[in-house]
Amino acid sequence: MAEVLKSACPLNCWDSCGLLVTVENNKVIKVEGDPSHPITKGKICGRGRMLETRTNSPERILYPLKKVNGEFQQISWNQALDEISLKLKEIKEQYGSTAVLHSHDYANNGVLKNLDQRFFNSYGGVTEIYGSLCWGAGIEAQKWDFGDAYGHEPEDVLNSRNIIIWGRNVARTNMHFYEKLLEAKKKGAKIYVIDPLYNATAKIADEYISIKPGMDGLLAVGIIKEILRLGLEDREFISQHSSGFEDLENLIDTISLEKISEMTEVPIETIRFLAKVFSEKPTSTFMGLGLQRYKNGGNTIRLIDALVAVSGNIGIAGGGANYANLQVGQSFDVGNLTMNHRKTSHRQFSIMKQAEEVLAAVDPEIKMIIVTCGNPLTQVPDSSIVEKAFSSVSTLVVIDHFMTDTAVLADYVLPTTTSFEEEDIYYSSMYHHYVNYGSKLVSSPGEAKSDLWIWTQLAEKLGFGDDFKLSREQLLEMSLQSLAEKGKTVVELKEKGTLELPVKRVPWEDFKFKTASGKYEFTSIDKGEEGKLALAVPEESKWNNAELAEKYPYNLLTIHPLRSNHSQNYHLFSKAPKLKIEVAENIAAEKDLRDGDKVRVWNGRGEVKGYLSILPKAHPNTINIDEGIWRQFGGSVNNLTSSRESDNGLGSTLYDCLVNIGKVN
Ligand SMILES: Nc1nc2c(c(=O)[nH]1)N[C@H]1C(S)=C(S)[C@@H](COP(=O)(O)OP(=O)(O)OC[C@H]3O[C@@H](n4cnc5c(=O)[nH]c(N)nc54)[C@H](O)[C@@H]3O)O[C@H]1N2
Ligand SMILES: Nc1nc2c(c(=O)[nH]1)N[C@H]1C(S)=C(S)[C@@H](COP(=O)(O)OP(=O)(O)OC[C@H]3O[C@@H](n4cnc5c(=O)[nH]c(N)nc54)[C@H](O)[C@@H]3O)O[C@H]1N2
Ligand code: SF4
Ligand SMILES: [Mo]
């Protein structure tokens, strides 16, 4: 008989939805939203629904595979684990444990997914990756300004008079916030969308502001300039709760509104108008992550923070510089799970430049790469170098559900369970502050085993099995230890399916910031000269590289796909996807291109071919290709992107990318 059971979406997404899963005869039949979830209220997206297809897909890897003479062969778990553990042992003895690279991303929000780190720490410490392709520049930026990156609770947007959606593709990537926007609009709030693409959220906006990619920091400077000219700034906040305001004043004096308008390609009247909007408090600002994937990304977020601060919208209900909500992740004791104290050796590579670093590594060279919860060949910038690096090491181990482009390169592919095949708890530090529970609903197909099982077996073979002699129950309790002191227990979480975390609903309400000075810092005191705000522009722009801009005149964005979470869903579509190249109207006119034309987009790093689609109202000279596409469907846009790091070193510059385009005959 069919049963409907509570579960949770594990995908790396803003929304962290509660699910209801129909199970019959040990098989997942259907995935729907859980109406009792306090935030997601029964609505989910297609990616969530596709977790059913993902779990039942005939393309799942069912057995451990080993590449022999270029062909994958099925082997037993015993053989796979014996051979991998022997290699790990020999590498550690001969070269040291940092000759192993752990390459990962965050494809699964489960808490017990952190146990890969426990394994590598117990092993002695491997080469780890730092920084984030996703949101690194902006997180670091908010740490400089506020001391941390905290967001308002979802309900608070209903207190806003004005809502600024700044580079977030809400309707596509953050659907429950979209619902909230509709609710706020009904209550009378005005919505403004600032984005180079006229996306689905722009359609519900009171005004859409089209901007040249990467120029948002300058736009913020223009708005601040106008606020100060009109005397609309919050003097009390500036004098009592901030430091470094003089530096900002000096900075804005170095550029005119006319120049800002020319560079951002936003009309002066619009800049003036936005100054009024920010001053009619409360105005909430919701930044997206696309906004900061530029060389100047950290500075961009800091200038927008500064605008929110100057206009007096910090620490008030209905306001905020909302970017992420790290309060959520900080509620867990992940440190207990990862056992950092067990590591004796240490080396770090930047996630953006992991491939270059692998190729350049000496003392020790990288002898083995283990990939978990990531698909670097598709998702990491500058694919040709990624391919070279990941093919160069003597042993590549990939743990995944499917034969991804990265897995194809592997020496060993180990099949893992999907979230419905193991128990875990899930949260995201992006939007709301509820943690969800997912129990094991069905058994895994073939010989697929959980990541945790794999680490436990390897640990046993390597002689530190005791570190893994803990039940899931014990591990989950460990992660919730400090919450248990506040009366939030695993028992309650299991019973209800979701728990509200005790976080601040309106962060910085007390104006006590986590910076060195305890104030909001327009200039980050800890960072010296670098801590000052700047009028920075993208690296790949006519201002920084005129020659490059001449050769490659168009800005390439590579935003997140509607129907896939990154590379996770394309192969599950009922009809094979076609690579779509979306271009602004002026490009189609200049190059005489029509919808459906086969075109090629290229730059010095590589090329991608696909079919043209004219994107109405897109900012002039802008192209978009959705990210995540597998080689068999046309190939990743990361063939074109740069592995450069953002200004503060912790973010990617995936959208800071110039290209050219032409018809394929
Ligand atoms: N459907 C779907 N949803 C997802 C994901 C997915 O893969 N698919 N991924 C999840 C993850 S991991 C993340 S990080 C989030 C990301 O969520 P978002 O931040 O919403 O999405 P991105 O695709 O990173 O950013 C895209 C938006 O930024 C705009 N943008 C790009 N450059 C600029 C700029 O210079 N200025 C301005 N103002 N806007 C700019 C784009 O036009 C687009 O509207 O989405 C999550 N949700
Ligand atoms: N050009 C360009 N590149 C981008 C982006 C962009 O906007 N443009 N966005 C960036 C962003 S925001 C992000 S977050 C990254 C995401 O990058 P990734 O996290 O690498 O991408 P995904 O496709 O979500 O997942 C990677 C793999 O993890 C596997 N996986 C899923 N669950 C599990 C599990 O439980 N265990 C194991 N072992 N594997 C699992 C999936 O099958 C998938 O093959 O991509 C970045 N790359
Ligand atoms: S992908 Fe995001 S919106 Fe879709 S079901 Fe999962 S958490 Fe919800
Ligand atoms: Mo992301």
Which CATH architecture fits 546-663? Beta Barrel (2.40)
Cβ-count burial 150-180 (b if 16+ within 10 Å, e if not): bbbbbebbebbbbbbbbbbbbbbbbbbbbbb
Domain range 3-56, CATH architecture? 2-Layer Sandwich (3.30)
CB 28 within 8 A of CB 442: yes
Report CA(72)–ligand 3 centroid distance (Å).
Answer: 34
The tens digit of pLDDT for each residue in 595-647 reads: 999 999 999 999 999 999 999 999 999 999 999 999 999 999 999 999 999 99
The answer to whether the CB of 9 is under 6 A from ligand 3 is: yes
Ligand approaching nearest to the C-alpha of 374: 2
DSSP label of 99:
G
Verify whether ligand 3 is closer than 6 Å to residue 16 (CB atom): yes
The response to whether residue 569 sits with its C-beta less than 6 Å from ligand 2 reads: no
In angstroms, the CA 67 to CA 74 distance is 9
Q: Quick one: which of 646, 623, 645, 626 has its CA closest to 637?
A: 626
Pocket lining: 13 vs ligand 3, CB cutoff 6 Å? yes
Q: Is 107 in the pocket of ligand 3 (CB under 6 A)?
A: no
Whole-angstrom distance, CA of residue 57 vs CA of residue 600: 32
Any idea what DSSP says for residue 40? T
Residues, beta carbon < 5 Å, ion ligand 4 = 134
Give me the pLDDT at residue 114, please. 84
The response to whether residue 44 sits with its C-beta less than 6 Å from ligand 3 reads: yes
How far does residue 165's CA lie from ligand 3's centre (Å)?
20
Express each pLDDT in 537-586 by its tens digit: 999 999 999 999 999 999 999 999 999 999 999 999 999 999 999 999 99
| Cα(43) to centroid(ligand 1), Å | 20
**Quick one: how far is CA 6 from the chain centroid?**
26
Tokens of 505: 């609903």
pLDDT of residue 1: 86
Contact 308, 320 (CB under 8 A): yes
Q: Could you identify the atom of ligand 1 that is nearest to the CA of residue 560?
A: 23
- 215 token code pair: 């120029």
| Atom number in ligand 3 closest to CA 33 | 5
pLDDT at 480 over 90: yes
Q: What is the pLDDT of residue 436?
A: 98
pLDDT in tens, 137-159: 999 999 999 999 999 999 999 99
Using the 8-state DSSP alphabet, how is residue 633 labeled? G
Q: What is the Å distance from ligand 1's center to 561 Cα? A: 9
Tens digit of pLDDT for each residue in 340-368? 999 999 999 999 999 999 999 999 999 99
Q: CA torsion, points 194, 197, 201, 206, in degrees to nearest 10?
A: 50
Q: Is the CB of 557 under 6 A from ligand 1?
A: yes
Cα–Cα distance for residue pair 112/115, rounded to 1 Å: 6
Ranges of beta strands (E only) in 451-538 are 498-500, 520-521
Residue 13, pLDDT > 90, answer yes
CA of 12 to the centre of ligand 4 (A): 7
Reduced DSSP (H G I as helix, E B as strand, rest coil) percent helix, strand, coil of the chain, to 5:
40, 20, 45
Q: How much distance in Å is there from the Cα of 287 to the middle of ligand 3?
A: 19
pLDDT band at 75; cut points 50, 70, 90: very high
* pTM passes above 0.95: yes
- Paired strand residues for 31: 21
pLDDT at 335 over 90: no
Positions of CATH 3.40.50.740 in the chain = 65-123+335-500
378 close to ligand 1 (CB < 6 Angstrom): no
Judge if the beta carbon of residue 583 lies within 6 A of ligand 3. Answer: no
* CATH 3.40.228.10 intervals, the chain: 152-323+512-531
Partners of 28 in the β-ladder: 23
Among residues of the chain, what percentage have pLDDT more than 90? Answer: 98
Ligand 1 pocket residue status of 137, Cβ below 6 Å: no
In this structure, CATH architecture of domain 152-323+512-531: 3-Layer(aba) Sandwich (3.40)
Out of 6, 7, 12, 13, mutate this one to test ligand 3's pocket (max ligand atoms within 8 Å of CB): namely: 13
Average pLDDT of 237-242? 98
Q: Which residue's alpha carbon is at the smallest distance from atom 31 of ligand 1?
A: 290
Q: CATH 2.40.40.20 in the chain, residues?
A: 546-663
Instruction: Give CA–CA dist 74/66, Å, rounded.
Output: 6
Instruction: Give exposure, 559-594, as e/b (b: 16+ Cβ within 10 Å).
Output: bbbeebbbbbbbbbeeeebebbbbbbeebbeebebe
Give yes or no for residue 45 CB within 6 A of ligand 3.
yes
Asked if residue 665 has pLDDT above 90, the reply is no
Q: Is 561 in the pocket of ligand 1 (CB under 6 A)?
A: yes
Task: Tell me the CA–centroid distance for residue 333 and ligand 4, in Å.
Answer: 22
Task: Give the mean pLDDT of 406-432.
Answer: 98
> Which CATH number is correct for 65-123+335-500, 3.50.50.60, 3.40.50.620, 3.40.50.740, 3.30.70.270?
3.40.50.740
- How much of the chain exceeds pLDDT 70, in percent? 100
| Res 374 pLDDT > 90 | yes
Is 386's pLDDT higher than 90? yes
Is the minimum distance from the CB of 643 to ligand 2 under 6 angstroms? Answer: no
